[in-house]
Structure 1
């Protein structure tokens, strides 16, 4: 009897011990899954914030060109100088340009702020006749040449970014060209895709937000210091004299103990900051639930046998690896596309200059051809029209290269002539190179013609444009950049060498890691994406310092 009681006693103790160990194991598993889920949420939020910031920067860079180009337009200068004969033509041009660029409004003001021409000339709320001399963007553009201001419209009361450019020199300003950009579609995308996104200016005021209730609130502190702000100016710009603190998710008396994760990315062109809020609760719930389920299954499988547990674990790891691989591939493509668009936004001003020159020449040839035809000199007129056709072909080459560079790369690797990649990259960057007086040394023509690689054209061009742009930016005025090609039968090596200051020693070991950069306005993704592209193609991207500069080498499989 005592022996039987002793056995039951031992069994009870063993069962209690098993329950305690299982409970401790479950608590430990919950903690581990919680830590892992938080780390994954932070990593995903960091990457997504970088993508959203790059997309917004690209959008802003696109619109900054519009007032800059219009400020040099002869018809604009003529209207400001007093010639009203072409006002109707200019109004229609501005309306067409607004439709093409999705700008909310484009308008022209004289030196006193009176609007003379506008894209909304034919609408009841037309700006023509309105005086905007009191707006900061007008006075700032007259003073500095260019100015940007985010504010409510005086007529529409719709928020937007005003980009203004002075027409004429500062000592004899003729007027100001302004473009209003609204971000309704961008905010709707944020609202559908993210937990919370908002953009603040240098003073911490929310300008854009996925939640309309956050707009024009202060994101600096819970109790912002309003003593340093101008209530009258805030009332005119934002519609509120004293911006209230932003009420973010998870705040207030009923706040959840689980805080939202916030990631901040600078927006280079205008000094803004993008804030991405990510709620870790769904990921945590799934992770903890998965962890507990895994623990129960592991205990059950241990009772049935270690063999079954091992098979299940391997299958689970395989599924997780497949999901991670799919997510990584999608994120990689998004980052590459965002990088291409950001790069294209940076070089678009140069492309506009490359297009304006042949356009001006085409106009001269056309006018001369018209006079020659009137003088019955048709042979000479035909020569002028042939020149016009050649210049039009030149413009077509530039725009086609720009469109090809911006497309997503869905093609499969194929045999590509490296000469075509080099020509396309230089076509996009020619204005930057010429503007800084860079002495560009190209590879030997025979070596270039013989270099055929197995790759994707758009991706190779993306990497080469990135490296060439870095080299040009690293050089001083009248610097030197050299391209060389080496072939060993298995691989082709294209090297880009500059005589700039080289890579700082502190960054050499982490140069190709994301978010590592020596530029004050960079986000540190260009080189990381470039190396990732090259390794996807079966090659690599290498760096080595030279005497007085740096060299980056693209290693590609030969065709």
Structure 2
């Protein structure tokens, strides 16, 4: 496989795929010509579109403002005709009654404020609390008051000299006996309206006939003049008290004809001149010029997007052409590559086949090793069982010798009774013989099951079955050693899943170890505490012996480690392996009162679980 790196060299074409300088120049010129054409066409089209949208925005702003403000004029004339207003102005009612009336009317009409002025220009009552000195304020200088006192309805926009908020004021005269006895003023709050019209154009300005910007989308324009004002004009505007006192800086230095008729306007509010597209509409009924504006940068951004699209399309077409050119070139080398690849595939296939054969040999060897390991483990388990039975052989002999002696006695007694023809007593002896034989059979069968070498047979089983078998198997050894096995169970114990013989082998091994640790101790005991904890069953095997030295506790589960004079040292190692195979755990736990405590945990059987 050393020649595999040569394939790349063989697939690389000898010819270069670059372009000559003449071809490169031609492509650049084609792109540049298209770039200029797109820029010219798109800028003209987009400019017309921006101006059309601004024209529509200016008209919509005019219509929106009229729609919002026109109802207020009829509100002023309607309030002026109310009897309560006339009676208050003629002294037939006090100011408190008039104020209550204005409060109710203001809530119904949703106005900003309702004010009733006396012929002197001082307020009699208002629907809004303007401060303790409100009644001493003179409104006679306001044009809307002067118009109403002449018997006409008035309109006037201004910034309130009390609240400082922009508003539009509507006034109506109050007639009594063909004489004007007072003025009703309705104030419309312009702030919500100005917020609404901001969405109709990128930028806007509302300019009074005095040239002052009354409202705008940019705060730096407000209360400045659209064009430079003479000093006398500034003084007249300040004396009118229509706006807050500002320097009235001119926003544009262009001629007035360009400001009010050109498609573009240059504004300077922050020291930088910015060009805007502009469309205007007059609102003579309001006294305003409405400007809809858009920064010229909007056009540049849109043109840039069109140019980007053009460049991407040109690049795509160029890449398609380049792809076709490259494809034709690559096809010339495909035949050479195919021949080389077929040779390489044949070589690789032969090597892969050899590798597979070697791998198969390794797998077979691994399986053989696993089988041998499983066989060895089974032999070790069987050896451990036989070792336990060997240790208990003397107790088993004692456990069976007594029933055999009893059998012999019952047989001799039955023979004498037969000779005397006492058949009833013979039948009773036979029943006793049957019971003794059954007990012996039960003992032998338990040991037979325990010692039998069979593969594990997992199944659901109750722990009581295992405990009973353990008690029977351990009875000879415990009787011989005069030890007591205390079995304590807390509540109901759920079923487990596995091979009960394997679990029984582990318990027998733990109890046998405990009995060996208590050898010679007449007061010794062994306890087996059983309880269910969630999804596990926990079994604690505890003895009252001297316990295991601290330095040896980490070694008790190691194979061939033992502290006894006899034994192989495999019991605890095999027990832990068996329990882990069943999905549980076997650990050594410290006890406060001395002795040794092994904790065995097994998972609870789940319905539907199988081997």
TM-score range, shorter chain: 0.3 to 0.5
Give the alignment's TM-score, normalised by structure 1.
0.47
Q: Which has the higher Rg, Structure 1 or Structure 2?
A: 2
Q: Which has the higher contact order (CA 8 A, sep 6+)?
A: 1
